[in-house]
């Protein structure tokens, strides 16, 4: 009798210890994930390590807790198939099979991070709030530093402008796209909370935070970041106006005000005006522009060296240089500067098909979450702003950073993971805390 009772106590204690360790794993991963945007400002290597460690902690948790139900999700299956296909394409790489395989193999870290965020870390609103607070402070610091650099010519850290473009705390002029890919999922939470709790002050501050950040993005002179953030903001506000007729006057006023402010900046800041003229020139003469040449090289790489497999991950530059030698293009770079063309040229039609399925599954989640919350205006708005965040990353007709390399890959997958997690949260009947 005593022996059986003693064995029961040992078993019960081991269960509690197991649960404690599982909670500790999740807390550690949550802290790491929350600080990834801050780490991206100072060290791409440390940010990448934080992202990779989050994935490792997630796998450890899954093994200990026997948690594998997420594998049945279509979006998870699609991403795993995409990763496996990346590795298969390395067998047919254009020039460097070893590099192609290595870059394909380590890409699993981004997929594990996405799954960890969506199906483990942010399964409750409090975890998302915790991360959002840290990321909000990070974005305020980053935007303030960029604005200070615009005014004084130097960032607070002492970094000068990149020509006339802003770098903020970064080494290169990428602070605009950094802000654009992170602002919307964070704003979606704060605006949703303010609406649900009818807190007009917080709602005003949330919108002000969003609009001021977009203004700073515009001042950076980054054309892609500006166009995507404006398109995302305008699209989301128009959807909200269609959904709620009582807000049409406010949303349209906001759109007109933002356009008016940016128009004023264009004519008051010569550099911004010149960037706009450069953008219009590139659009009107796109085939002969640098980006047009990269797009052409991407199509040629896919068509000539692997319709189904592409040239292999991170092998675009090598194939592009071949075309440049042959006189087929006049400019080359390390990647295609478009996510979809990058995946097409490096993993072929099959890789692109899988990635398009992934993008469509994200869009499906937007629609499902929005429909589920059509009677909950706060959550509906959150879904729409999460959709806006996905636009800044997955919109197909744009010039983008690489989807493969560590800094841009970490930024992209952090933004996607936050947006998708917000959508999944809004699909649940979880209580939102103030």
- Give per-residue pLDDT as tens, 227-275: 999 999 999 999 999 988 887 887 888 888 888 988 898 888 888 889 8
The pLDDT value recorded for residue 408 is 96
Q: Could you give the CA distance from residue 114 to residue 413 in angstroms, rounded to a whole number? A: 7
- pLDDT tens digits, 269-311: 888 889 889 889 988 999 999 999 999 999 999 999 989 999 9
Residue 310, phi then psi, degrees to nearest 5: 70, -165
Q: How confident is the model at residue 429 (pLDDT cuts 50, 70, 90)?
A: low
Question: At residue 332, what are phi and psi to the nearest 5 degrees?
Answer: -135, 155
pTM for this one? 0.92
What is the predicted pLDDT for the residue at 247?
79
Question: DSSP string of 355-394?
Answer: HHHHHHHHHHHHHHHHHHTTT-HHHHHHHHHHHHHHHHHH
What pLDDT score was predicted for residue 115? 98
DSSP 111-155: HHHHHHIIIIITSSHHHHHHHHHHHHHHHHHHHHHHHHHHHHSB-
DSSP code of residue 165: B
Question: Left, alpha or beta for 310 (phi > 0: left; psi -120 to 50: alpha)?
Answer: left
What pLDDT, in 10s, does the model give residues 125-136? 999 999 999 999
pLDDT at 312 over 90: yes
| Percent of the residues in the chain that have a pLDDT greater than 70, as a whole number | 94
Q: Average pLDDT in the 79-87 region? A: 98
pLDDT of 9 > 70? The answer is no
**For a pLDDT cut of 90, what percent of the chain falls above it?**
75
Average confidence (pLDDT) over 78-88 = 98
Q: What pLDDT does 5 receive?
A: 45
Helix (H, G, I), strand (E, B) or coil at 289: coil
Question: pLDDT tens digits, residue range 31-45?
Answer: 999 999 999 999 999
Could you read off the pLDDT of 203-218 as tens digits, one per residue? 888 888 998 999 999 9
pLDDT number for residue 255: 86
The pLDDT of residue 195 is 87
Predicted pLDDT at 295: 96
What is the pLDDT at residue 262? 87
- Helix (DSSP H) and strand (DSSP E) numbers for the chain: 16, 0
- Position 432 scores a pLDDT of 42
pLDDT at position 127, please?
95
Looking at beta carbons, which pairs linking 287-296 to residues 24 or more positions away fall under 8 Å?
290/331, 290/333, 291/337, 291/338, 291/399, 293/329, 293/330, 293/331, 293/332, 294/320, 294/329, 294/331, 294/332, 294/333, 294/336, 294/337, 294/338, 294/341, 295/336, 295/337, 295/338, 295/341, 296/328, 296/329
Q: Phi-psi region for residue 167, left (φ > 0), alpha (ψ -120 to 50) or beta?
A: alpha
Residues 385-393, mean pLDDT to the nearest whole number: 97
Q: Categorize the per-residue pLDDT at 150 as very low, low, confident or very high, splitting at 50, 70 and 90.
A: very high
Residue 4 three-state SS: helix
| pLDDT at residue number 202 | 87
Structure tokens at 362: 């994200």
Using a 10 angstrom Cβ sphere, with 0-12 exposed, 13-18 middle and 19 or more buried, the burial of residue 121 is buried
Query: If DSSP codes are grouped into helix, strand and coil, which group holds residue 162?
Result: strand
Average pLDDT over residues 178-185: 96
What's residue 19's pLDDT?
60
Q: What is the reported pLDDT for 254?
A: 83
Q: What is the pLDDT of residue 11?
A: 42
DSSP lists the bridge partners of residue 99 as: none
> Could you state, in order of their start, the residue ranges of all structural domains in the chain?
72-426
pLDDT of residue 7: 52
Cα–Cα distance for residue pair 145/125, rounded to 1 Å: 30
The confidence score (pLDDT) of residue 73 equals 96
- CA 239/CA 301 separation, integer angstroms: 39
Residue 4: pLDDT band by 50, 70, 90 thresholds?
A: low
Per the prediction, the chain carries an average pLDDT of 91
**Encoded tokens for 93:** 């790489």
Predicted confidence (pLDDT) at residue 113 exceeds the cutoff of 80: yes
Helix (H, G, I), strand (E, B) or coil at 337: coil
Q: Residue with structure tokens 């896919």?
A: 302
């Amino acid at each position: 009798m005593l022996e059986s009772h003693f064995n029961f106590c040992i078993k019960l204690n081991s269960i509690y210890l197991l649960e404690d360790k599982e909670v500790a794993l999740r807390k550690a991963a949550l802290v790491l994930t929350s600080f990834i945007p801050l780490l991206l400002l100072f060290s791409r290597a440390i940010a990448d390590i934080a992202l990779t460690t989050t994935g490792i902690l997630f796998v450890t948790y899954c093994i200990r807790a026997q948690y594998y139900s997420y594998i049945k999700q279509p979006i998870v299956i699609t991403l795993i198939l995409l990763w496996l296909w990346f590795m298969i394409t390395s067998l047919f790489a254009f020039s460097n099979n070893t590099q192609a395989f290595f870059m394909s193999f380590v890409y699993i870290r981004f997929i594990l991070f996405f799954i960890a965020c969506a199906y483990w870390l942010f399964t409750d609103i409090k975890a998302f709030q915790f991360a959002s607070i840290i990321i909000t402070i990070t974005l305020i610091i980053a935007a303030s530093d960029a604005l200070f650099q615009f005014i004084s010519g130097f960032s607070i850290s002492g970094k000068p402008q990149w020509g006339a473009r802003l770098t903020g705390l970064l080494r290169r002029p990428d602070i605009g796209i950094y802000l654009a890919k992170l602002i919307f999922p964070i704003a979606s939470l704060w605006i949703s909370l303010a609406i649900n709790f009818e807190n007009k002050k917080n709602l005003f501050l949330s919108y002000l935070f969003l609009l001021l950040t977009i203004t700073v993005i515009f001042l950076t002179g980054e054309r892609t970041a500006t166009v995507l953030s404006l398109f995302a903001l305008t699209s989301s506000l128009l959807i909200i106006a269609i959904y709620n007729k009582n807000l049409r006057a406010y949303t349209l006023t906001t759109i007109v005000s933002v356009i008016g402010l940016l128009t004023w900046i264009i004519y008051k800041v010569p550099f911004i005006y010149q960037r706009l003229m450069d953008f219009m020139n590139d659009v009107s003469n796109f085939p002969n522009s640098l980006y047009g040449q990269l797009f052409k090289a991407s199509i040629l790489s896919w068509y000539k060296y692997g319709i189904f497999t592409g040239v292999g991950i991170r092998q675009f530059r090598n194939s592009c240089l071949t075309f440049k030698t042959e006189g087929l293009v006049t400019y080359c770079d390390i990647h295609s500067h478009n996510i979809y063309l990058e995946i097409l040229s490096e993993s072929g039609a099959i890789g692109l098909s899988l990635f398009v399925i992934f993008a469509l599954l994200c869009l499906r989640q937007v629609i499902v979450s929005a429909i589920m919350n059509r009677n909950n205006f706060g959550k509906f708005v959150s879904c729409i702003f999460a959709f806006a965040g996905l636009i800044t990353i997955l919109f197909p007709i744009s010039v983008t950073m690489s989807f493969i390399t560590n800094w841009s890959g970490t930024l992209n997958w952090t933004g996607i993971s936050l947006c998708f997690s917000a959508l999944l949260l809004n699909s649940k009947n979880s209580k939102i805390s103030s």
